[in-house]
Each structure stands twice: as C-alpha cells, then as structure tokens.
Structure 1
C-alpha cells in the first residue's frame, strides 16, 4: 500500500511539472505604449484591454495585469487631440500546455485551458494613433516591443 501511495504521489508531482497553472499563473503583465502617427510618444492615453475573462485599464505608458485566456485581447486607447489607437493581441498556447499533455496530464491540460494559464499574449505592445494593429505572440522577442501587423481597416475616429 505504501508503494502504491508513493507512486501515486510521484505521478501527481510529475503532472505539476508541466502544469501552466503552477508555472505561468492565470495573469500576465502587458506593457502598453501609444504613439502618434508621426512616431512620437503619446503619454496619458487611457486604454481599455478586454478579453472573455474581463476588462482591464491602463494609462500609457504603463503595465497592467490581464487574466490569461484562449481568446484574443482587444485594446482601445484614447486621448483628447489624438485619433483612437486600436489593436488585437493574439493569444497563443504556452509551451507548458504541451508539458501537460506529454506527462499524461489530460486533466492538467483541461484545467489550464479552462483557467487561461495555458495561454500567453505578447508582453509589450505599441499602439499607433489612428491605426488598427495586430500583435501576435508568435512574433514576441524578450526585451523588445512586439512588431505589429497592420490591419487593412483604419481605427474608428471618435
């Protein structure tokens, strides 16, 4: 019985090694900056970040904790005298999710998907006034702002 119990505890411990809930947590900090169309820094823009887990606010330049999710993050930043800056921030599966699957963690994978910890967003984005940009986690490079992909539509001018 002792051997069975030790084996079970060991197996559960292995499941936690790849568990994104433990390694990533359910929140992530995202640095948001805003630029004018000419590339100059716009300070004090009010930004709202929204995904299926909630809505989060930050004043630029600044960082905000968002709840991780499999859904993309929508951002809109506004400041008087500037056109709105909008963006879609693409969520991507974190490497720890694959650790769950490899280590027999069907349950861990389900939990991490459900609570959002299996996903990541780019850590630093720069929105541009009057533009609607897309930022993809697959373009993320540590210590750098993620390069945007410009969408064909222009942000709504309100």
Structure 2
C-alpha cells in the first residue's frame, strides 16, 4: 500500500509519520513510501502526523477479492473459510492520499489503476466503514 499526505490546498507532503493498523498489528512508515500490509476482513486505520500540519486520519475499507468467490464456487467453501480466517480473501486500496486536518474513508471498489483512490470525508472523529459485499 502506498500512503501519501497532502495539505488542504493539495500540496504533497513527504515524510509524515504514519501508523497503519488492523486486527493483525501495526506498521509504521513515512508518507510517500509503500509498505506491505497484512490483509484482514477488518478495515485498516491510518493516522499520519507531521510537525507543520494537523493530524490526517483515514480508514481503508477491506473488501473481499475475486479469490474468495472462486473458493466458494470451486472449493466448496472450505478454501473460502480458510482464506477468510487468514485474511487473504480481502484487499485494501493500493494507493491512498490522506489530507491533513481531515478524516477520510477510502474504498477499493472505486479504485482505478495508476491513480490514488479518492477518499470520502467523514463528519465525525472516527470514520465509519460502509457495509461489506
């Protein structure tokens, strides 16, 4: 997953300290970097801090990937249960851009190859994930 941070005016800011976490653990990276994230059926929480900007927060929605459907159809469900329990049946957006001072939700279902997923701003301090398919 690639994580970038921007100001409210749209300027990219590299080097913000970002924490990415789900039920499997937490990864720390600098904005502008790409990091492996352990997949899960649970959404991914992201928080980025930079000394010159207010905190940026986000939730990346976990979506079932095509492999889960294949396991259900061809594997009789056993493979789907195993993949669900291990988290491998799910995928997060591959590229997100957090905005300082905002809380955004990123949903892979709106992902277009080669561009960051557009975030939807939430009104509360904690983003609420949309229903899973």
TM-score w.r.t. the length of structure 2 is 0.91
Partner residue of 1:146 out of 93, 117, 120: 117
The alpha-carbon deviation at position 81 of structure 1 amounts to 1.4
Unmatched 5+ stretches in structure 1: 1-29
Instruction: Give the aligned length.
Output: 126
Q: How does 1:47-126 map to 2 (within 5 A)?
A: 47-126=18-97
Alpha-carbon distance in structure 2 between the residues aligned to 1:96 and 1:54: 23
> Which of 133, 136, 139 is 2:107 aligned to?
136
Other structure's SS at 2:19 match: strand
CA distance in 2, matches of 1:154, 1:41: 23
Superimposed CA distance per residue, residues 16-54 of structure 1 (whole angstroms, 9 cap, x where no aligned partner): xxxxxxxxxxxxxx0000001111111110000000011
For the aligned residue pairs, the C-alpha RMSD in angstroms reads: 1.1
Which residue of structure 2 aligns with residue 32 of structure 1? 3
How has the CA–CA distance of structure 1 residues 116 and 80 changed in structure 2, closer, same or farther, with 3 Å as cutoff? same
Q: Secondary structure at the match of 1:64?
A: coil
Which residue of the partner structure matches residue 14 of structure 1?
Answer: none
How far the C-alpha of 1:154 sits from its partner, in A, is: 5.7
| SS class of match (1:89) | strand
Structure 2: distance between partners of 1:77 and 1:138: 23
SS in 2 for 1:66: coil
Q: CA deviation at 1:152?
A: 1.2
